[in-house]
């Protein structure tokens, strides 16, 4: 190469280098603050609910992300998820107008940052052979010394990452406990038990509710209106409510209030008709509850005299001391696989027990949507509630059992724009329809709230210790907690995760394995045919010559060996072809990610800069 050509080549490279730097500087200046989410599931695009929560922040909120960066050098999956968390919170902070600030802290062992993380209530997890503590949690504070934390950000909860962080921000922007109204005809609170003639303790779910929220007991008999500062109304076993009470509930929903309803075709703790001198009075009393007028207006079908049986989820119970346990198809146990994994209320629950429950369906003309939270298997059927009341042996429910081959919704989230059930009323402030879409959580069982189905309470040195064996209480608290959030928070659903399986590669491997398996079967068939032919030739030999191979046997054996070599070559070719296709796919992806995409972005930046320059010149 001549010196002149070397000079030109070097000059061209220098010009390209200067041009590249110029493009980067122009891109930084022109696209500063611009964001473009090109991921398939829009992982980095915040939902409208989150944006509204962030825009509603009045005073500064400070978030502290504690992540043990140095201690997780050998944990690439956790580090990848930590980057995902950091980027989502940074996206929230970028949209907050300076009201949301983020600090990322690496709490080193025996440091002030570690003490600070522990002081916030964050949990550390031991890792590695030395058992070094790893912190990966989020703490937040507001200007009034309020505090809220996520003790540990679990990677398996990535689908609800946006909801959890938005909920933390929402809690910090709210200065007082949410008010929850409770209307119940069951003995949930502390009171006098007529049967035992002694004071009874409140139900465990009632105690949990009072610890977390500002619970206000409302009297159904005198209920005519619901205070506007009550964000959630919980109805437990509403029986024979007056028109005024139902109208108050109706208008509460019309103005955007959030409602949680528990009805039951056979509430086993219903004390209606209880008379110590006449035990049969309670047995024959009606223990069902219903909201017929409201359900009809909401487009929901519910029969207060039908109980769901499910043979697949029947629990074993003991009906007499010393008797063997029997399966009761009316007392059901649902596990994680039976609960909605995409709803924040049930996503992290493991088990829920119910007893003599009803079910919900949408009316044919309903414009609303019913999202199942708990539903039976298809091995279920419906029976009249009277059959449950007067049944001494639960095993008789399985006699002549005829499943309907359809699943029934025990609990669901009703979504839609609701209309009033009282169009004839004309009081001041009457609303004929809700302005925005609303949500109502419906549960067709009240017994799941009772202690016997989910918790054992034992005395321990003067205190009551709760040992939960099911997640009924968590389901109740999750439902109320979800509804106490704003409509924006409730609208945030589970998102897709950043874990993307290599579906194309998996399909290629699956096809290659099928081909490989076919070749192996062909080889095995050839071997079987050869053994059969050798056996046939061996049987025709004279006595004394069995150990000597005849020319026919030698030829057959040689043919088999050659076929075996050919098939093995084909098997190796299948493996080699798969590797080559995977490598070619990887090369194409590298070219697109490393070469093509940056080139397209550079061209777009130059085109935009030229367009902007011409516009200014014009």
pLDDT tens for residues 493-502? Answer: 544 444 555 5
pLDDT in the model for residue 471:
92
Sheet holding 438-443, edge to edge: 214-217, 179-184, 230-236, 258-262, 438-443, 409-416, 369-375
Percentage of the chain exceeding pLDDT 70? 75
Mean pLDDT score, 172-196 = 81
Give CA–CA dist 263/285, Å, rounded.
Answer: 16
Give CA–CA dist 51/488, Å, rounded.
Answer: 9
pLDDT in the model for residue 581:
72
Mean pLDDT score, 469-488 = 86
**Most confident region among 111-115, 372-376, 554-558, 586-590 by mean pLDDT:** 372-376
Q: Looking at the chain, which residues constitute the CATH 3.40.30.10 domain(s)?
A: 48-172
Residues with Cβ < 8 Å from 328, sequence gap 6 or more?
314, 315, 316, 317, 394, 395, 397
pLDDT in the model for residue 234:
97
End-to-end alpha carbon distance in the chain: 47
* pLDDT digit string, tens, across residues 11-28: 666 766 777 676 666 655
pLDDT in the model for residue 496:
44
Q: How confident is the model at residue 514 (pLDDT cuts 50, 70, 90)?
A: low
Ramachandran angles phi, psi of 136, nearest 5°: -155, 75
Say if pTM beats, i.e. exceeds, 0.75.
Answer: no
Crossing angle between the packed helical segments 503-539 and 551-590, to the nearest 10 degrees: 180
More confident residue, 129 or 139: 139
Res 8 pLDDT > 60: no
Res 344 pLDDT > 70: yes
Superfamily (CATH) of domain 48-172:
Glutaredoxin (3.40.30.10)
């Amino acid at each position: 190469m001549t010196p002149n050509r070397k000079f030109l080549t070097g000059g061209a490279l220098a010009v390209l280098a200067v041009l590249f730097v110029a493009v980067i500087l122009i891109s930084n200046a022109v696209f500063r603050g611009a964001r473009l989410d090109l991921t398939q599931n829009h992982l980095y695009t915040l939902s409208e609910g989150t944006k509204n929560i962030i825009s509603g922040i009045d005073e500064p909120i400070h978030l502290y992300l504690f992540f043990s960066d140095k201690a997780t050098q050998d944990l690439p999956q956790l580090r990848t998820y930590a980057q995902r968390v950091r980027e989502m919170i940074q996206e929230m902070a970028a949209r907050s107008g300076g009201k949301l600030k983020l600090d990322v802290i690496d709490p080193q062992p025996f440091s002030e940052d570690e003490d600070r993380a522990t002081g916030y209530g964050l949990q550390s997890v031991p890792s590695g052979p030395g058992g070094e503590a790893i912190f990966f949690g989020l703490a937040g504070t507001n200007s009034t010394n309020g505090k809220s934390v996520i003790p540990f950000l679990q990677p398996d909860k990535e689908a609800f990452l946006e909801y959890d962080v938005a909920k933390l921000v929402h809690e910090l922007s709210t200065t007082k406990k949410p008010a929850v109204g409770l209307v119940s005809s069951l003995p949930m609170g502390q009171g006098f038990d007529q049967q035992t003639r002694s004071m009874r303790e409140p139900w465990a779910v009632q105690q949990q509710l009072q610890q977390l929220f500002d619970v206000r007991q409302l009297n159904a008999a005198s209920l005519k209106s619901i205070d506007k500062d009550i964000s959630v109304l919980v109805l437990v076993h509403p029986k024979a409510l007056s028109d005024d009470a139902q109208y108050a509930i109706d208008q509460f929903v019309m103005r955007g209030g959030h409602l949680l309803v528990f009805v039951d075709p056979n509430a086993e703790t219903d004390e209606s008709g209880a008379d110590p001198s006449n035990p049969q009075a309670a047995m024959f009393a009606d223990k069902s509850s219903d909201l017929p007028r409201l359900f009809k207006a909401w487009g929901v079908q519910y029969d207060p005299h039908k109980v769901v049986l499910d043979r697949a989820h029947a629990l074993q119970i003991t009906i007499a001391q010393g008797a063997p346990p029997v399966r009761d198809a009316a007392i059901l146990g649902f596990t994680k696989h039976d609960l909605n994994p995409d709803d924040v209320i049930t996503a992290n629950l493991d088990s829920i027990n119910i007893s003599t429950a009803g079910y919900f369906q949408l009316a044919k003309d309903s414009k609303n949507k019913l999202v199942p939270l708990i539903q039976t298997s298809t091995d279920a059927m419906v029976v009249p509630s009277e059959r449950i009341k007067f049944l001494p042996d639960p095993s008789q429910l399985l006699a002549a059992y005829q499943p309907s081959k359809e699943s029934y919704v025990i609990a669901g989230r009703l979504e839609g724009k609701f209309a009033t059930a009282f169009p004839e009323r004309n009081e001041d402030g009457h609303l004929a329809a809700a302005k925005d879409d609303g949500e109502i959580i419906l549960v067709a069982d009240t017994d799941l709230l009772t202690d016997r189905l989910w918790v054992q309470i034992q005395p321990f040195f003067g205190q009551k210790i709760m040992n939960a064996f099911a997640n009924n209480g968590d389901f109740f608290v999750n439902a109320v907690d979800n509804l106490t959030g704003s409509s924006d928070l409730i609208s945030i659903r589970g998102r897709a995760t950043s874990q993307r399986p290599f579906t194309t590669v998996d399909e290629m491997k699956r096809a290659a394995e099928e081909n490989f398996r076919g070749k192996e079967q062909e080889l095995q068939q050839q071997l079987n045919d050869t053994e059969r032919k050798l056996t046939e030739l061996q049987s025709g030999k004279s006595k004394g010559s069995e150990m000597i191979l005849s020319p026919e046997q030698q030829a057959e054996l040689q043919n088999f060996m050659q076929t075996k070599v050919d098939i093995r070559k084909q098997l190796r070719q299948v493996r080699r072809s798969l590797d080559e296709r995977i490598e070619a796919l990887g090369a194409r992806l590298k070219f697109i990610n490393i070469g093509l995409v940056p080139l397209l972005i550079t061209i777009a930046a130059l085109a935009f800069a030229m367009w902007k320059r011409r516009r200014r010149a014009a």
